[in-house]
Amino acid sequence: MPSENTIEVIVCTFNGERFLAEQLKSILTQTLRVNLISIYDDGSIDNTLSVVETFRGQFESAGIEYRFSQNPSNLGYAKNFSQAIARSTGEIIFLCDQDDLWEPTKVAVMIQPFQAQAVDMVFSDGLVVDVAGKIIPGSTVLESYQLHSKLLIVFNRDPVRFLARRNYVNGCATAFRRNAALLAGPPPPGMPHDYWYALWCALQGEIIGLPDKLYRYRQHESNVIGIGRDAIVHQIFSILRSPKAPRQRELDILSRALDRLELVSNPDVNLLREKLKWMNSIVGEPRRLRRLIRIFLTLIQGKYSTFGQPYSLLRDLVSCVK
């Protein structure tokens, strides 16, 4: 049974011995103590379990309840988080990656909106750091998604319009009410868990983004999701190698999400239906010339600026010649 007013941190690990100790220390040194740390390991074969075990006494000394579970087989990043959320018991859930760092006031700052109003999800900005934990000059995490502080104010007023275009919410930057996540249920197949829960909370409740930089997002060779110059290079090579596959995947995920959102009464869900219709007219069109004509027509109509993810236009154009 969930406990009232409890804060639970879910940490999902997989071969995380390199950075996990730093992350756990940053949770232990929060100015507002969390009540429960739940660690779900996805079949690590390095020393991750030994690192976790060294913190058992520190959790107990700090008065923090501790739970550990190891999956019998590897589920993958998104499914591991999804099953961890389904098994959670805290009222407010914080998601935590194994390789990031929390600023000391992260929990204290992010818990405030939950106490002040009926918010279902809160997410924050973060700093980008290198392998050694040093800040990489340039954009913050949200700025790298073209969501600067002034635009974040607009996002908070109309989140579905933003989320209809792309996901701006990193799971490791979020906290949410357990009840909201359980109502949402597991993400549709292939859909990132953070995107699904953000979209659900935006349609069925309230989601708030904070400009505060409350975590440090570490960039290294094993990142599941990267940002910055290397991510841009990866996108360019991906477009040249396989321009259509990511767009088809985006279309399939959106279609599955809308199947799950069929009974949602919020009229903003029509934005997602409009995007699906547009994407079907482009990505689902097998004839290249007709696809090219539709690309230019819908570009003039503003569909790419409303619904297109970064590089969507370039992907669609390249798909007409490759």
Instruction: Please spell the DSSP secondary structure of 168-202, one letter per residue.
Output: ---GGGEEEEHHHHHHH-SPPTTS-HHHHHHHHHH
Residues 184-196: pLDDT tens digits?
999 999 999 999 9
Extract the tokens encoding 299: 């570009």
| Cα within 13 Å of Cα(14), Cβ side | 16
Residue written as token pair 């097998």: 286
pTM: 0.92
Contact indicator for 144, 127 with CB cutoff of 8 Å: no
Q: Which domains does the chain have, with CATH numbers?
A: 7-218 (3.90.550.10), 229-319 (no CATH)
- The secondary structure of residue 135, as a DSSP letter, is B
Give, for 95, the enclosing helix (H) or strand (E): strand 92-97
Reported as a pLDDT band with limits 50, 70 and 90, residue 241 is: confident
Of 65-79, 213-227, 240-254, where does mean pLDDT reach its minimum? 213-227
Of 37-41, 48-52, 217-221, where does mean pLDDT reach its minimum? 217-221
Q: What is the pLDDT of residue 229?
A: 59
10 vs 228, more confident = 10
Q: Which of 208, 181, 195 is nearest to 119 (CA)?
A: 208
Q: How far is CA 224 from the centre of its chain?
A: 11
Sign, CA dihedral 118-154-226-25, equals negative
Whether 10 shows a pLDDT value over 70: the answer reads: yes
Q: Please count the residues of the chain.
A: 322
